[in-house]
Amino acid sequence: MAPTDEPGQSARQAPQTGTTPPPEPPEGGVAGQAARMPRWLPRAMVLALALVGVFQLGTWAFHQLIGLLLNILIAFFLALAAEPAVSRLAARGMRRGFATFLVFFGLLIVVAGFFTLLGSMLAGQIIKMIEGFPEYLDSVINWVNTTFHTELRRVDIQEGLLHSDWLRKYAQNSAAGVLDVSTQVLGGLFRLLTIALFSFYFAADGPRLRRALCSVLPPAKQAEVLRAWEIAVDKTGGYLYSRGLMALISGVAHYVLLEALGIPYAPVLAMWVGVVSQFIPTIGTYLAGALPMLIAFTVSPLYALWVLIFVVVYQQFENYILQPKLTSKTVDIHPAVAFGSVIAGTALLGAVGALISIPAVATLQAFLGAYVKRYDVTDDPRVHGHRRRGEGPNPLTRARRVWARARQRSSGPGNGTG
């Protein structure tokens, strides 16, 4: 008999048969394959880092350009307000650029004339106050000496002021702040010039801008954009009309008061109060009331107090009665919505938001109202908030029913009378 092969010998002879044994698994087995990094993960990490970098860059650029964007937004609404006048002149055969120039030039003349007249009045009052300052000081000193039994003299007070450390420090601080004031004035003039240029371009190239915007939209969307543009023009014009009407009412009311008190330059001061209080949001009321109070103080301190009381009372009347009514009529939005939009605009964009919030909300409301489906309201008394005449029992019948129910409860089985 042939000798039997041992297991170890058959294993050593296996490679000679021509069959290749299966490869050994990698070190670590299945756990090593799972721990290997997917091929898409590096690219995903690079893409995520790139998105974060783009977001940071966009945020930085937005904060750097926020001033320019606000100027463009103001210019756009000013162009919308000038659109009806420019279009009316262009419809009569005038070139649109020249029509825009005439509208803006007329507005410039009105604004320049107003501030020139106001500046001359203010300069005259300042000179008058400086010339009459010794007399005011003497009257104050006489009142103090009479009331408190003192012996003050104007010469001593003047010498004390001239040699005081407070005056010297004030002069030094004023001299150092001249450069800051000049820088702010130049910055404000540059901002006004930027707004004026953008407003002119928007108004003059309005049709071209609309064509460029509609050229990248399908025909159905083009009609919606043109409708939104027309609504924005109407609402912005209505808002400015309401502000102008309130400025006229405010000017007339303050003119009557100032003329009755005998305050000089009453027409100019009334015009100042009307324009500034309506077209400078948030702080316009305080700026408008300060100048008439100052002029009234030169006549009598009591008159300045009367002006202050009238300004405060009229402001409350305007905020809660006049402005909501006029705004709801001209801009066609609810008074509560108008009030809330001003608060929201001020919180988001400050004074600019307060100025453009009402026309922006009115435009959005009118545009959305064209696409919201509405239904006929059922004729229910609860919709009207009251019962119609003849419906339901009269007061006498209701009183009888209440009395009958009360007697029924008192004579019931649980009252202890059974």
In this predicted model, what pLDDT tens digit does every residue of 92-131 receive, in sequence order? 888 999 999 999 999 899 888 878 877 777 777 678 777 7
Residue 235, domain member (yes or no): yes
Instruction: List Cβ neighbours of 215 (8 Å cut-off, separation of 6 or more).
Output: none
- The answer to the question of residue 347 being in a domain is yes
Instruction: Answer for the pair 358, 342: CB distance below 8 angstroms, yes or no.
Output: yes
Select the highest-mean-pLDDT range: 13-22, 138-147, 301-310.
301-310
CA distance 327 to 358: 9
Burial class (CB within 10 angstroms; exposed 0-12, middle 13-18, buried 19+) of 322: middle
Say if CB 73 and CB 356 are below 8 A apart: yes
What is the average pLDDT score of the chain? 77
Residue 272 domain-assigned (yes or no): yes
What pLDDT, on a 0 to 100 scale, did the predictor assign at position 172?
67
**CA-CA-CA-CA torsion sign (221, 222, 226, 232):** positive
100 falls within a domain: no
Q: What's the whole-model pTM score?
A: 0.61
Q: How many residues does the chain have?
A: 418
Span 68-72, mean pLDDT?
Answer: 87
Query: How sure is the predictor about 12, in pLDDT bands with cuts at 50, 70 and 90?
Result: very low
User: pLDDT class for 11, splitting at 50, 70, 90?
Assistant: very low
What are the backbone angles phi and psi of residue 282, rounded to the nearest 5°?
70, -65
| Domain region containing 352 | 227-370
Tell me if 332 is assigned to some domain: yes
Evaluate whether 241 touches 81 at the Cβ level (below 8 Å).
Answer: no
| Nearest of 281, 240, 275, 239 to residue 254 by alpha carbon | 275
Distance from C-alpha of 86 to C-alpha of 105, rounded to nearest angstrom: 12
Within a domain: 342 = yes
Long-range contacts of range 72-75, CB-CB < 8 Å, 24 or more positions apart? Answer: 72/198, 73/352, 73/356, 74/195, 74/199, 74/352, 74/355, 74/356, 75/194, 75/195, 75/196, 75/197, 75/198, 75/199, 75/202
**What stretch of H or E contains 90?**
helix 40-91
Buried b (16+ CB within 10 A) or exposed e, 79-116: bbbbbebbeebbeeeeebeebbeebbeebeeeeeeeee
With respect to residue 299, please indicate whether it lies within any of the assigned structural domains.
yes
Residue 19 pLDDT exceeds 60? no
Q: Specify whether the CB–CB gap between 203 and 84 falls below 8 A.
A: no
For 124, residues 6+ apart whose C-beta sits below 8 A from its C-beta are: none
Going by C-beta distance under 8 Å and a sequence separation of 6 or more, which residues neighbour residue 236? 77, 80, 81, 359, 363
Q: How many CA atoms lie within 13 A of 267 on its CB side?
A: 2
> How would you class 241 by CB atoms within 10 Å of its CB: exposed for 0-12, middle for 13-18, buried for 19 or more?
middle
Copy the structure tokens of residue 199: 């407003």
Choose among 86, 83, 73, 100: nearest CA to 200. 100
What whole-number distance in Å separates Cα of residue 215 and Cα of residue 202?
18
- Model confidence at 370, pLDDT cuts 50, 70, 90, reads low
Q: In this predicted model, what pLDDT tens digit does every residue of 32-63 receive, in sequence order?
A: 555 677 888 888 899 999 999 999 999 999 88
Confidence at 363, pLDDT banded by 50, 70, 90: confident
DSSP designation for 27: T
More confident residue, 344 or 159: 344
Q: Is residue 165 domain-resident? A: no
* Residue 83: per-residue pLDDT: 87
Q: How many domains does the chain have?
A: 1
pLDDT attached to residue 2: 47
For residues 233 and 359, give the distance between their C-alpha atoms in angstroms, rounded to a whole number: 9
Q: What is the rounded CA–CA span in Å between residue 78 and residue 103?
A: 12
